[in-house]
Structure formats: C-alpha cells, structure tokens
Amino acid sequence: MITMVLTQEVYHLLILYGSETGNCEELAKSIGREAINRGIDCNVLECDDYDVSQLIDQKLVLFVCSTTGVGEEPNNMKNFWAFIRRRDLPNDSLSSVYVSVIGLGDSSYSKYNFVAKKLHKRLLCLGAKPLTDLVLGDDQHECGPNATIDPFLSIFWDKVFDFYSIINNFENLSLTQDLDQLFTSSFSVKYVNENDRQNEITNYKSSPFDKHNPYLAKVLSNERITAKDHFQDVRLIKLGINDKQLNYSLGDVCCIKPQNSKENVQKFISLLNLDENEYFVLDANPHNWINRKSYYNNLPKPCSVLTLVTEYLDIQSVPKRSFFQLFYRFSDFELEKQKLKEFAKSDSLDDLYEYCNRPKRSILEVLQDFPHTTARIKFEYIFDLIPAINPRYYSIASSLNVRPNELHLLVAVVSYKTRLKDLRYGLCSNWLAIQLPSEDSCVAIYIKKSNFKIVTDNKPIIMIGPGTGVAPFRAFIEDRVNRQVTDNYLFFGCRYKKSDFYFENEWKQYNEMGFLNFFVAFSRDTDTKVYVQHKLSQQKDLIFNLITDKSAVIYVAGNAKQMPQQVRQSICDIFKSHFNEQLDNDKIQQIVNNLELRGRLQYECWS
C-alpha cells in the first residue's frame, strides 16, 4: 500500500454518505480509496453510523448524498439529518470544519438533489466553511453523474492538498500502479478446513429485526393479478409472519433482501473458477477504512461460496467506473487490459456509458466479456470489486389489525429490452414473483417506518395512488372498514379496466357497503389519455369541500418522477377555480404549502 509521509502530521478526510440504492455508497468508497492512494488517512461511514456530536472535531468532511421519494433524505441519513437540523445548535457549531457536498440525483424529478442542496445550506448556516462549491450529479446527463463529478474531484483533490500544504505527487496514480502496490484488499479470508467445518449458520436472531438481522417470512401465496395477455406481470404476494415477533403499522414499508438466480450464480462461480462448497470466514483487515458494520460483516460464519454469491454479491447491477479502476489491474492479457483501462479513465465517459449504462450491462456480463481478466480475480478482492445486494422496498398492502399473521405485497415484475440480446430483469421482483417457489419458501425481510403520518380519528382521507402506488391504500381502507370508519375516497389509475384494475372487487364491495368512494382513470381505454389528476379535476367540488369543510387528509403514493407534482398542481388548480382566480399563484402555493406543513398533504413516493 502506497503512503506519503512528509511530516509526522496525519492528513485526514472523513467521508459520510446517505444512500438509498447504493450509488452514493459506491461513490463514497471510491473516493475514499483514492484518498488512501494519495496518502490521505480516510474513514468512510454511513451518516447514521457516525457520532454526529464528533463532527465539530473534524477538519475536512466530504458528504455524498442522494434524494429519495419527494425530497426526503435516505433512510441511513435520517438520524443525522434530524440532529443537524436542531434549532438549538449554535450558528458557529462547525466553524472549524471545512466541508464539500456531492449530490446524486435525476433532474427529471421535481425535487432534484433536494437533500444535497439543503444539507450544503445547513452546514454553512452552522458555520462550516466550503472547501468547494456544491456539486450535483445528474443521471439524466448523457454521460451520467460522472460528467460533473469527475471535474469536481480534480478540483477537490487540489483543494485538499492546498489545505494541508502538501504537494500532490499522485496525479493519475490509480492508473499507473499495479494492484498489489496500490492497496491491499479491505478484507481477509480464512478458509475453513473440512474437518473443522460446522454447518453454516445464518445469524438471524429474535427481534428487533433490521437489515443486519432480518425476519424469515414464509411465502403463503404468489398470485398474478393482471390479465395473462397484459404486458406487465403484477403479483399479490402473501407472506406469513408471527405478529408477536414482527409487527408493522399502516403505511410501513417491507424491506426485502433478494437473491441472485441459480443460473447467474452458476455462471459467476464458473467464470471465477470457484468451489461453491468451499467455506470461509471473512474479517476486515486492520487498515480497513470502511465502516465494518456496513459491508459483508453479516455473512454467516463460516460462509459457503454458494451463499456468498447467491445472497450477497450484486452481480446483476450495472458496474460503476470504480469497478473498472480495480478490475483492469487483474489483467495480463493486453487487449483486455487496454480496453478496461480506457473505461477506468475520466476522459472516456462516453465509451463507458455506451458500453454499460445505456444497454444496462450487468457486472456478470462484463465479467463474461473479459474472461482472461476475470479468471485472475483474487477471491479476497471480490469484496472490493462487487457491491453488496441492497434491500428493495415495497409498501405493505395489508392491515395487521385485519390480517394478524400476514403481510401482503403488490409487486410489479420488472423486465425490459435494450440493445442487448437478453431481456433486463429487476433482481428482486423476478426473484419474488417467478424464481421463488410459492409454498414453504422463506423471504428475509424487515420493516421500515412510513413517511405517512396516519390519521387516528375519523377524519376523511383522500388517497391518490396510480399503479402499484395503491398498495398502502389497500391497507388503509381495510383497516378503516374494520373500524367502521366511512369517508374514504380513493383515486386510482391504471391502463385498462380489464387488465390491471388492481383490487377491483374489493373496491366495489366496500363501495356497496358505504365505506368507500372510488374514482378510476383508465389511461388507455379511451382515445384521450386520462390520469388520476384528471379525475381530481372532475371532482373539484368534492375535493375542495373535503379539504375546507371536513379537514380531510390527502395521501399520495406512487412513482416520484412526475405524478406527485402533477397531483399537487391539480390541487392548486382546484383552489384557484373555487376562488375564481381572485388569489394569485403565490397565495395558492402558500395554501398548499400549509397543507403539506400541517401534514394534511403527504407523500410516500419512490424512484
């Protein structure tokens, strides 16, 4: 491992990340690795794994964060964010700290990089000094977020070395040194002799259940609820639980740990010439700068290679450039090495985007494309090379009060075509709906609290959920029906009445019983496309009266890309029409803003 020691002083950089899908985590670790290469001592942690009270003692801190839902911070950043937003913090709390902030987002969403912008502003309000300007990576850019992040990092490293008054002699180091010279692997591997081997035990414990200790829920049924000739396969999956061990509330989210398909597992094992029956124990090396809680430290001890590849390695994900920066070093085959080296360079973003991002080429497929290099990968470097599988989140579509030993999920199976021969498949949805047997199989899950603040009295509720966004409202409705609460209003949107009208019979039954009023937009059954926002406009008198006269609470769930903003605009238009345009747009916006601030207009949306 190369280090640079000019004086006795230790040059340190703290990197904190908030990541929902793993992109920010991967970028943070890549930057941390580069810091080590350049002789800078570095620690990389999730925001919520860091003792935020120690932030005042830091010199240099880099934040990498994403935005989830409609402007919400990632789940592993919530505690950190709640702390630094405290009003009792002095305005000079961070006056001795220099900070930089990187945001990763998608400019097609209304709250583009909202969290990074808020974080940067809040840090400065607490007295922190900006080492660099805020930088925002955009997935919509033709070359992806690296188009802005790469130029930023060049400036960032110059600023870091200026800050410590040391000479940066490490330009392009990561592309000129051999693997063993550059750094050692983050983890060490100890193989278990067959004579000493015991049965592999996954350390699932009793509650509380979380990502490190999931609950094993039994699959009760797996039913397709869209028509067989419909383009999309949507499943209602019912899981059996013991509600005394695992409980959930209305609006909560079920987090699922998916697995790779048997076919892909065998391809990977064959490519790397691994023995699936080999057992090992994984431990962090003493110099490991990555938070030990966050990586593969939850592997069974001992763990089989088969379990590792099946349950932990995200071989189906699209590789980042950091993957190629390490991968090419294993190569002794010049043609492969030169091509991989090009992908690793910051000035080859177009080539990398065309090869990986545009066709959604997976890590497994890249390994297949470069077999000579793949065959030389050292097992202990797999943990640096390949990211871990992240949990997938699904709104719970059942009420525990109505179904005390069940948890229902509405799962849309993701599959689509790119220019590559094989279809692209969503890892979790395909594993849940197709690869997993329906009976007696177990799914590793845990519960994440909802962003929704649930109405506990009998106030009217207006639920707006197109597509699978209707899932949490099924739970709301059946719970309120169970409590004999009326004034439930559902706005649902789908393509065709005969193909994807989810829970149609349930809605009709509740309507006949007097518990539910529902309005459905079928976007493809007419020449003119009709969406939920159009149905809201058609019911503008009803919506206005429910909000103003009955203090109704509005819930919005579904895809965060355009729908939430369109629904919000429809609500603005309803107020505008009822005030006969006597109020200007600013006044209307203020009314809707107040609804949001008071929790009477709430969102649970996803990317």
CA distances for 425 relative to 315, 358, 360, 365, 408, angstroms: 12, 15, 10, 13, 22
Average confidence (pLDDT) over 79-88: 94
Can you name the residues that pair with 282 across neighbouring β-strands?
189
Report CA-CA distances (Å) from 522 to 75, 530, 567. 34, 6, 16
Rounded distance between C-alpha atoms, residue 360 and residue 353, angstroms: 9
Residue with tokens 């010279």: 181
Question: How far is 222 from 471, CA to CA, in rounded Å?
Answer: 16
**CA 509, chain centre distance (Å):** 36
pLDDT in tens, 319-365: 998 899 899 999 999 999 999 999 998 788 889 999 999 999 999 99
Rounded to an integer, the average pLDDT of 103-124 is 93
Name which of 130-144, 186-200, 525-539 the model is least confident about. 186-200
Is the pLDDT confidence value at 201 over 80? no
579 forms bridges with which residues in the sheet?
none
d(CA 316, CA 45): 25
State yes or no: pLDDT of 122 exceeds 50: yes
E strand intervals along 533-581: 553-559
Tell me the per-residue pLDDT of 294-328, one tens digit each, with 9 for 90 and over: 556 678 889 999 999 999 999 999 999 889 989 99
Read off the pLDDT of each residue in 446-472 and give the average, rounded to a whole number. 94
What is the number of other CB atoms lying within 10 angstroms of the CB of residue 531? 18
pLDDT of residue 292: 53
Nearest alpha-carbon partner for 385 in 178, 176, 175, 185 = 185
- Mean pLDDT of all residues in 275-286: 87
- Residue 484's H or E segment, with its range, is none
pTM comes to 0.89
Q: What distance in Å separates the CA atoms of residue 379 and residue 303, rounded to the nearest whole number?
A: 14
What domains does the chain contain, in order, with CATH numbers? Answer: 12-182 (3.40.50.360), 215-258+391-448 (2.40.30.10), 261-385 (1.20.990.10), 461-606 (3.40.50.80)
Residue 256's SS3 state is: strand
Return the pLDDT at 438: 66
pLDDT of 552 higher than 90: yes
pLDDT value of position 211: 82
What single letter denotes the amino acid at residue 546?
A: L
| Of residues 205 and 130, more confidently modeled | 130
Q: Could you tell me which residues are beta bridge partners of residue 411?
A: 235
> Which of these ranges, 128-137, 141-150, 386-395, 587-596, has the smallest mean pLDDT?
141-150
pLDDT at residue 204, rounded to an integer: 58
Give the residue-averaged pLDDT of 151-173. Answer: 79
Let me know: does 428 contact 237? Beta carbons within 8 Å.
Answer: no
Residues contacting 315, CB < 8 A, separation 6+: 260, 264, 268, 309, 362, 363, 364, 367, 386
Can you tell me the mean pLDDT for 165-183?
Answer: 53
Pairwise CA distance, residues 153 & 66, whole Å: 17
> Between residues 414 and 21, which one has the greater pLDDT?
414
Can you tell me the mean pLDDT for 182-205? Answer: 68
Mean pLDDT of 197-212: 67
Q: Residue 53 above 50 pLDDT?
A: yes
Spatial strand order in the sheet of 279-284: 187-191, 279-284, 303-304
Q: Residue 588: what are its φ and ψ, rounded to 5°?
A: -65, -45
Query: Confidence band (pLDDT; 50, 70, 90) for 527?
Result: confident
What average pLDDT does range 17-25 have in this prediction?
Answer: 90
- Angle CA(356)–CA(360)–CA(362) in degrees, nearest 5? 75
In single-letter form, the type of residue at position 169 comes to: N
Residue 58 phi, psi dihedral angles, 5° rounding = -85, 160
Mean pLDDT computed over 428-442: 86
pLDDT of residue 151 exceeding 80 = yes
Question: Of all residues in the chain, what percent carry a pLDDT higher than 70?
Answer: 91
Q: Is residue 63 scored above 80 in pLDDT?
A: yes
- DSSP β-bridge partners for residue 362: none
User: Which tokens belong to 508?
Assistant: 């009709």
Q: Which amino acid is at 589?
A: Q
pLDDT for position 11: 87
Q: 485: helix, coil or strand?
A: coil
pLDDT at 541 over 50: yes
Taking phi first (over 0 means left), then psi (-120 to 50 degrees means alpha), and beta for anything else, what does residue 440 get?
left
Average pLDDT value for the chain: 90
- What pLDDT does residue 180 have? 46
Give the mean model confidence (pLDDT) for residues 479-493: 97
Distances (CA, A) of 467 to 10, 410, 495, 558: 54, 10, 9, 7
- 8 pLDDT higher than 60: no
* Cα–Cα distance measured from residue 532 to residue 564, given in angstroms and rounded to the nearest whole number: 11
How far, in Å, CA of 470 to CA of 503, rounded? Answer: 9
The lowest-confidence range among 127-141, 176-190, 583-597 is: 176-190
